[in-house]
Structure 1
Amino acid sequence: MTIGLIQGVHGVRGEVKVQPLTDDPKRFFDLKEVFVEDKNKKEHLYTIEGVRLHKGLVLIKFETIDSRDESQALRQAFIKITREEAVDLEEDEFFIADLIGIKVCDSSQKTIGTVVDVIQTTGTVNNIEIRLENGKIIFVPFRDVYFKEIDVANQMILSEIPEEFYAL
């Protein structure tokens, strides 16, 4: 489960600046280890030596990273945890990862496709990657205006996706 994006380095001792992709950045203080997913989608386990908050970002010092050059190599990598380490959810909440594989239906409940991925951004809106029934891939901003109801238990999303998304 992705909880952060390493945006850059901080200082010369190997700290990384992390954009939290979680509702509560303070949760990083409870973690002892995390997986760092590199550009090739390969995950590496790192032990956390220290965590602090700074200007809306999370600064993390990993045990084996001791220089600016070493931490620079982690730029644009995602920080991940196991599902067991995830926070407890309220009844009507879900994890982004839970959306992958869910069928997407139109307002008449006709299946139009399946969620393939959720593209997490550092901006305010993630994008949902949907494989349509005809095999075509479309990307739709993850907004209430397009996704009306998300039912993780029944593996279905009711949507109102405008035609222009299908033409892209």
Structure 2
Amino acid sequence: MGVIGKPHGVRGLVRVNSFAEESDSLASYPLTDRNGRRFALAWLHDNVAQLSEVTAQGNRPITDRNEAETLTNTELFTPRSSLPAADEEEFYLADLIGLKAMSESGAEIGTIAAVHDYGGGSSLEIMPGALLVPFTRAAVPVVDVSSGHVVIVPPAEVTVAP
């Protein structure tokens, strides 16, 4: 959902990069890091936020720059159940993981193991064989999450083993 950036000032404020559709909505989600540590944030301006650690005793604001520095590059996650339902014909990229990848003729190619995005557009990693296919309408013309499969039409330069 987001990544904690560099500290802002000396009072523990941090820059936060939000990946939510509406950046401001990040403050409304329950947030955790990879280790399960829970956080809450309150936006102050632009991408600057007051971060608090959520503990059994309540929210503990982070008010020290040194502690804020230790959180730089911490990824923030939210449970799937906290996200709004996808509209019809829409899905979350995480929903693709585990779907069967089929050829146009219906032959099973493999299973989507990961969705990668390095800035030039998403790609699907299909196992076995670590086949990478660009996630475009031309290469993936059918996405049917409810029936658990996608149809793959690999570009000519991508070889699919028989």
TM-score by length of 1: 0.74
Q: Deviations over 1:30-81 (max 9, x none)?
A: 23x30122xxxx33222x1412452xxx433221433333233333332111
Candidates 49, 62, 72, aligned match of 1:60: 49
Aligned CA distance change for structure 1 residues 154 and 70 (closer, same or farther; 3 Å): same
Residue 96 of structure 1 corresponds to 93
1:70 aligns with 2:67: yes
* Structure 1 residue 99: Cα displacement: 0.9
**Number of aligned positions between the proteins:** 152
CA contact (8 A) 1:28 1:51 kept: no
Instruction: Please list, as runs of the form range in 1=range in 2, the aligned pairs for 1:15-164 lying within 5 A after superposition.
Output: 15-31=13-29, 33-37=30-34, 42-46=35-39, 48-52=40-44, 54=46, 58-64=47-53, 65-121=62-118, 123=119, 125-131=121-127, 135-164=128-157
Q: Cα gap change, 1:29/1:136 in structure 2, threshold over 3 Å: closer, same or farther? A: same
Compared with structure 1, are the counterparts of its residues 163 and 19 closer, same or farther at alpha carbon in structure 2 (3 Å cutoff)? farther
What is the SS of the residue equivalent to 1:84?
helix
Deviation at 1:109, TM superposition (A): 2.4
Identity of matched residues, %: 25
Stretches of structure 2 lacking an aligned partner (at least 5 in a row): 54-61
Give the drift of 1:139.
3.0
Measured in 1, the distance between the counterparts of 2:45 and 2:112 equals 34
- Which amino acid letter does the alignment assign opposite residue 104 of structure 1? A
Larger radius of gyration: 2
Q: State the distance in 2 between where 1:166 and 1:43 align.
A: 40
CA distance in 1, matches of 2:17, 2:89: 25
User: Which AA in structure 2 matches 1:80?
Assistant: F
Q: Give the aligned residue type for 1:50.
A: A
Aligned alpha-carbon RMSD (Å):
2.5
| Unaligned stretches of 5+ residues in structure 1 | none
